[in-house]
């Protein structure tokens, strides 16, 4: 019996909030401070590896592969190695942050990273995505292997950017097994509407699931039927 591979894996997810300014001093940030002011719930356990703190950056890791980064103008809530969207918790941290921190918010980025394996587990050049006979797609029978495809979609109230590349991945439980597939780095960007109050930001964070759904639908369109 062969392993049933998922159609996709949400291998990373982050929410980036741009503000002017960030009233929290990165150098003074700690796990205790973020918990005490209510940004981080008490049941999210701090991790010790990867702590970094300067006057320009505070990087605070937690269990469940969560990392919070604070700079003078950004707050980043990142979660790595989430297998499905239901594992994501950083949207709650971002919601807490904007509910507590009173400042001028400039932009919001919702950034899912999606891996889609290729059926048959074979290495296929990304150039197969192009239905074109452009000369640059081959040189002396060699296909370029480092190409990235970047597309931008202007959807209502947000802009979706997708960067696609062909990759080789390995399984955590079977590191000797190589899986060929496509990696999609994505960004869903929002900016203030109307009078610029923070309501647009709360609404944008609350719509993270529909953003992930948009990304999954769009990245599926990149995969020719014979790859699925």
Burial of 84 (0-12, 13-18, 19+ CB in 10 A): exposed
CA-angle at 205, arms to 188 and 192, nearest 5°: 70
Using only C-alpha atoms, the chain has a radius of gyration, in whole angstroms, of 20
User: What's the pTM value of the predicted model, to 2 decimals?
Assistant: 0.75
Q: Which of 107-116, 124-133, 170-179, 190-199 has the weakest average pLDDT?
A: 124-133
Of 32 and 9, more confident: 32
Tens digit of pLDDT for each residue in 72-86? 999 999 998 656 677
CA 56 from centre of chain: 22
* Per-residue pLDDT, 17: 97
3-state secondary structure of 110: strand
- The whole-number average pLDDT for the span 51-75 is 96
């Amino acid at each position: 019996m062969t392993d049933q591979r998922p159609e996709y894996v949400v291998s990373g997810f982050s929410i980036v909030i741009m503000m002017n300014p960030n009233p929290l001093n990165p150098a003074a940030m700690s796990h205790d401070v973020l918990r005490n002011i209510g940004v981080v719930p008490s049941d999210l356990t701090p991790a010790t590896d990867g702590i970094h703190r300067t006057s320009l950056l505070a990087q605070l890791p937690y269990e469940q592969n969560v990392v919070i980064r604070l700079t003078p103008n950004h707050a980043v809530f990142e979660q790595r190695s989430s297998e499905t969207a239901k594992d994501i918790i950083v949207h709650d941290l971002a919601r807490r942050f904007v509910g507590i921190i009173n400042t001028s918010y400039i932009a919001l980025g919702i950034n899912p990273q999606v891996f889609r394996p290729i059926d048959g587990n074979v290495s296929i050049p990304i150039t197969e995505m192009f239905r074109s006979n452009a000369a640059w797609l081959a040189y002396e029978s060699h296909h370029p292997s480092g190409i990235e495809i970047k597309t931008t979609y202007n959807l209502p109230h947000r802009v979706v950017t997708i960067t696609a590349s062909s990759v080789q991945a390995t399984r955590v439980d079977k590191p000797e097994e190589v899986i060929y597939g496509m990696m999609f780095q994505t960004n869903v960007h929002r900016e203030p509407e109307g009078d610029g109050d923070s309501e647009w930001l709360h609404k944008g964070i609350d719509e993270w699931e529909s953003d992930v759904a948009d990304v999954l639908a769009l990245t599926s369109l990149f995969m020719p039927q014979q790859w699925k």
